[in-house]
Amino acid sequence: MTQTPTRVNPTPEDLVTPTVFDGVLIPLSALVEARRTTDRPRIEGLTFRNCVIQGPAVLVPNSTTTFESCNLGEAAGDRRNLFLKAVGPMIIGGLSAAGCQFESCVFLGVGFAGNEAMIEQFVGHLAAGGAQA
């Protein structure tokens, strides 16, 4: 069963230094912008627990990014609506998330992009109860 954060604190002022975010609102645009001007420009190796992850955005998780007990957001009755399939070898304009962990998070206005195999695996994970749409 997916847990939803019961209390979410405002977005922290420092979105660059922490590697773990717990119980906070994370607007993906603010996270990317804050990190872009530093020596940590990517969403990489971060852990998000009990957070609300806010779009609008398209997240491109790699094979080492995990989603446990997350609510992926409103899918208008069909979980496939959350996913965008890459038709070429690259995804331009999406936010790469490499080696991140999302635990008990809620996603608002976020889509997920990848190749067909990634999407099939993700949809299978949803069907098995690993995350919720």
Angle, vertex CA 65, rays to CA 30 and CA 11, nearest 5: 25
Tokens of 86: 């890459």
Across 107-115, average pLDDT: 95
Q: What is the pLDDT of residue 129?
A: 62
DSSP H/E element including 31:
helix 28-36
**Lowest-confidence segment of 18-22, 80-84, 123-127 by average pLDDT:** 123-127
Tokens of 89: 């070898």
- Residue 65's CB is within 10 A of a number of other CB atoms, namely 20
Whole-angstrom distance, CA of residue 85 vs CA of residue 91:
9
The model's pTM: 0.89
Q: What is the pLDDT of residue 120?
A: 87
Cα–Cα distance list, 114 to 34, 37, 48, 67, 90 (Å): 25, 26, 21, 15, 9
Contacts of 37 by beta carbon, 8 Å cutoff, 6+ apart: none
Per-residue pLDDT at 108 exceeds 90: yes
- Computed over every residue of the chain, the mean pLDDT equals 89
Domains of the chain, residue spans: 41-132
Q: What is the pLDDT of residue 118?
A: 87
Q: What is the pLDDT of residue 59?
A: 96
